[in-house]
Amino acid sequence: MAARPVFGQGVYYVTSRGTIFHTVIYEYYDEEEEYYSLLKSGHHRGEERRLKKTMQELLSNDRVVVNGKQVTPQVIDARIETRGYKNLSSTTFHIVMNYEPLEGRNVLEVFYAPVKTEYGYVIDWVLDECMEIIEVETDGIVESSKKTARVRVKRGERLKGYESLVFKIGKCRKTGETATSQMS
């Protein structure tokens, strides 16, 4: 594909019941309108299958660890789209990871090869009820509150190959139970 990536966005939704939903969107300048042509002709499913497989292979190069145990991200869907203009296209990936939540402190770590970014991107972390962000360690500019964190990374930035999110799972106000005890 001759399309050039121009921006990326990732959203992690972390549940207190042991599932992390991750959506990744890549935006492209698609001068040759390849995705538009595939969508218009109805021949996009093959490209989406190829993208899903490629993303799964890329994720297998990373190591994701939650509370000291390795977890396996699974790409469950990949889609191509155009964004209002024939030459602006995007790919969307839906990824799921399961982990064993602990009452109290939890640590999610991602290890990957150090890299210099080809385009800017943002990552949002959103936590479920009964959860609170304690600390975020990553490259880029981090803005966080108790329930959300946003990381902004500029094009050309060098990434060290490590990021972590430390969060707490506590008691839910409505029931008084911990989120982890509601799982039983």
Residue by residue, what is the 3-state secondary structure of 26-38?
EEEECCCCHHHHH
Q: What is the model's pLDDT at position 184?
A: 46
SS3 123: strand
For residue 56, the surrounding DSSP H or E stretch is helix 44-59
What is the residue range of 74's domain? Answer: 4-182
Inter-axis angle of helices 44-59 and 34-41, nearest 10: 130
Q: What is the model's pLDDT at position 3?
A: 82
Residue ranges in the chain modelled with pLDDT below 50: 184
DSSP 12: E
Number of domains composing the chain: 1
| Order of strands across the sheet that contains 63-66 | 69-71, 63-66, 104-111, 162-169, 131-137
Find the angle CA(171)-CA(172)-CA(178) to the nearest 5 degrees: 45
Q: What is the model's pLDDT at position 172?
A: 75
Name residue 108's beta-bridge partners: 66, 165
Find the angle CA(77)-CA(110)-CA(141) to the nearest 5 degrees: 100
